[in-house]
């Protein structure tokens, strides 16, 4: 009887592990990058951790865009913003950062559209983009339960926001592709965003999708097109039918939160992606890994520029390379992430292949 009880407990334990695994939505991780090495970026060297500068302690989910007035406009989640801090914790707040990557300051922008609610119960920012002087914001947790993306926009630099009367129920974390100041480095007349191919912002999946919309029709749901496939000549096929969407990048068990910025100096898109933690007890603001992938076009082909499962500090649940803080040659960049639950900035130096111009 004792042996049967032991066996029963073992079966129950394995069953619970299996259930937890299914709930997480993650495919088993291989520990290897999902794409081959970059033909352009051969190395990424990080500044000493002691050089990291952080402000906005006790806030995370920092997203940003380079605006027409030369500031970085910011949205953040689960925190109190910059000093002087807000009196009450918000699920989503707004601000701006002025200055250089080595000498910057932050200021809060108070808005009637600040959101409240902990974790998935409150709306939170997924990405920001300025186009022609208008700030556009993708919000996750649009249903106040961790699901769906909703668009909002501001014509007064983040004070007041207008909300779209539609959502993307199919996607959980919509991330704009940023192109320079006020979208000035854009290579065509479209705005792009990526999302993991799932409706929940808190669950890792295997694949990412890509969407585009004419930059003068961002507010119109009917104007969006979805990447279907990349052709042999490097072009992409698109469809207005969301059910025909294809996979732009596969990262088994690790597809969730990410950001993309175009590095004009080297002519490559840089895609920051966090990696699923080794177990549910790990807080990726304080430990864990991430990857940087690069490509000549938003639809690829994507290759691996940097990949670590254990960075020397916490990578944060989201990171980005603001184009304002990229050198003219594109080789010096700065990562802004929620490392240690703050607006944390760290320099990186890119080594470019000798056969590149």
DSSP string, 133-181: TEEEEEEE-TTSSSB-EEEEEESSTTSS-EEEEEEETT-S--EEEE-SG
Domain count, the chain: 1
pTM of structure: 0.92
pLDDT of 278: 85
pLDDT of 327: 99
pLDDT of 11: 36
Whether 73 is covered by a domain: the verdict is yes
Whether 1 is covered by a domain: the verdict is no
Q: Point out which residues pair with 308 in neighbouring strands.
A: 290
pLDDT of 15: 36
pLDDT of 220: 99
pLDDT of 12: 37
CA distances from 119 to 90, 140, 144, 202 (A): 11, 11, 9, 10
Identify the segments of the chain with pLDDT beneath 50: 1-28
Domain residues for the domain of 334 are: 41-352
Q: Using CB atoms within 10 A of its CB, is residue 340 exposed (0-12), middle (13-18) or buried (19+)?
A: middle
Instruction: Assign residue 107 the CATH number of its domain.
Output: 2.115.10.20
Whether 13 is covered by a domain: the verdict is no
Quick: pLDDT tens for 183-237.
999 999 999 999 999 999 999 999 999 999 999 999 999 999 999 999 999 999 9
CA distances from 35 to 289, 301, 302 (A): 16, 9, 7
Residues 6+ apart with CB under 8 A from 283: 277, 314
Whether 8 is covered by a domain: the verdict is no
């Amino acid at each position: 009887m004792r042996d049967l009880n032991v066996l029963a407990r073992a079966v129950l334990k394995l069953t619970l592990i299996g259930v937890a695994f299914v709930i997480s939505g993650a495919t088993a991780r291989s520990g290897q990058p999902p794409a081959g090495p970059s033909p352009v970026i051969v190395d990424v060297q990080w500044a000493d951790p002691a050089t990291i500068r952080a402000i906005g302690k006790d806030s995370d989910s920092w997203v940003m865009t380079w605006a027409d007035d030369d500031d970085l406009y910011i949205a953040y989640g689960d925190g109190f913003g910059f000093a002087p801090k807000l009196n009450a914790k918000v699920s989503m707040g707004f601000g701006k950062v002025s200055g250089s990557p080595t000498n910057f300051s932050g200021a809060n922008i108070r808005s009637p559209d600040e959101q409240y609610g902990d974790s998935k119960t409150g709306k939170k920012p997924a990405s920001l983009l300025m186009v022609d002087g208008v700030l556009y914001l993708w919000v996750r947790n649009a249903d106040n339960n961790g699901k769906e993306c909703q668009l909002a926009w501001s014509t007064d630099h983040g004070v007041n926001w207008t909300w779209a009367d539609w959502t993307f129920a199919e996607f959980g974390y919509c991330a704009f592709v940023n192109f320079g100041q006020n979208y000035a480095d854009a290579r065509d007349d479209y705005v792009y965003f990526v999302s993991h191919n799932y409706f929940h912002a808190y669950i890792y999946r295997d694949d990412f999708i890509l969407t585009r919309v004419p930059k003068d029709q961002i507010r119109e749901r009917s104007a969006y097109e979805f990447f279907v496939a990349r052709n042999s000549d490097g072009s992409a096929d698109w469809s207005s039918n969301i059910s025909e969407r294809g996979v732009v990048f596969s990262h088994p068990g690790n597809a969730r939160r990410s950001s993309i910025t175009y590095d004009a100096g080297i002519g490559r898109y840089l895609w920051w992606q966090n990696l699923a933690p080794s177990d549910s007890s790990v807080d990726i603001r304080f430990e864990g890994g991430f990857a940087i992938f690069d490509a000549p076009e938003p639809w690829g082909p994507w290759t691996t520029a940097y990949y670590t499962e254990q960075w020397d500090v916490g990578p944060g649940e989201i990171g980005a390379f603001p184009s304002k803080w990229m050198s003219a040659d594109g080789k010096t960049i700065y990562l802004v992430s929620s490392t240690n639950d703050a607006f944390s900035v760290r320099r990186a130096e890119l080594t470019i292949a000798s056969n590149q111009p």
